[in-house]
Structure 1
Amino acid sequence: EFYERAGYITTLGQQEGSVSIIGAVSPPGGDFSEPVTQHTKRFVRCFWGLDRALASARHYPAISWLDSYSEYVSEVAPWWETQGESSWVESRAEIMELLQREVRLQQIVKLVGPDALPDSQNFILEVCSLFKTAFLQQNAFDDIDRYSTVGKQIRMLQLILSYWHLGSEAISKGVTMVKLRRMKVVQEIARMRFSVSNENLEELDRIALRLERSMSQLGGIYDER
């Protein structure tokens, strides 16, 4: 009954508005399977699960991208379109799929080590690691990183996905992971949340151009072979 109080309302002053309820549950030992947490998840459509391992690794915000979820994706998609970002739903789905694939690969790595994986699969781990540090992680004390506009968020995500697409194509031509990691532009992508301000989003476009140029040059070398 508590969560049912949230929703669209008409106030006593005959004004229209909405009531949002954000519940906080702290299960013993971080066990999300305990009854109170499970009962809460039955009624909410959005869940942010804090991860102790992320907090210990100083990855903030320490929100688990695996345990957390939102059932409002289809409802907020039209808003993203009004912002001129019609590709948001597809980009989000693609990066979520990569994160799921990373989980399965990490299980293999724990058993046999990363050297047992081909470059095509190691590249998935590489891209997901880049996504976590360059996009999901945030420093609230940094003047640039403490807030990102919608435009900056979607451009950063598209840049990481572009690295995934171009890198996968390069690996299929024979380019090695070592060559990809050594590209200067990859370090620029890793630092973009600190180095590119909300007022200078054109720099992200320039990084994207440098990425395409670097990948083209690298792929061209292997094409000649």
Structure 2
Amino acid sequence: MKTVAVIDYGMGNLHSASKALEHVASSDTRVKVTSDPKVIQQADHVVLPGVGAIRDCMAEIRAKGVDDVVREVVESQRPLLGICVGMQVMLNHSEENGGVDCLGLMPGRVKFFGKGLVDESGEKLKVPHMGWSPVQQHRDHPLWKDIEDNSRFYFVHSYHAHANDDAMAVGRCHYNVDFDVALARDTIFAVQFHPEKSAESGLKLLENFLNWNP
């Protein structure tokens, strides 16, 4: 029996993520929402979700020792999926809340979209960036299997990621600026969008993650 651990540290969209994973999982796969380090350490695949302010997420991650557990998962080379703020915490630093240091597992920074945004035609753009947007598959990756380039995924965020190393950027989006929405490094894959809310393309990405054995 294969186990997928969805880390519960009090700041994730756990129900939607776990239900979506259960929907695409094979009959020999169990999805566990858990805060137990032992369960996470023994899982075959691990998911780190996240919603809300980065300061609160990082505070809970550190208070519950999730930072150490996630590093153990990475060091043991097991597949790890970060979702939304769960992607942002993988980077070095975020501008949100006056500046917050993150896990530093993937070199890069998280920046504010800013105010007074307009598109190429001069139309005002709202912040947060919310709704469906096309994602350009900047580089090939097993998690893009059977997902068409520029498929639309669902976003809700006011801060956007920029990797230091272009080789890590496997998916990009444009909203006034170009920014990284899918990052990959070794056994880590992290996305800014919500695959669990992104219909067929999102479910396919989650299925690909469960079948990913790097």
TM-score (norm 1): 0.23
Higher alpha-carbon Rg: 1
Greater fraction strand: 2
TM-score (norm 2): 0.24
Greater fraction helix: 1
Structure with the bigger RCO (C-alpha within 8 Å, sep 6+) is 2
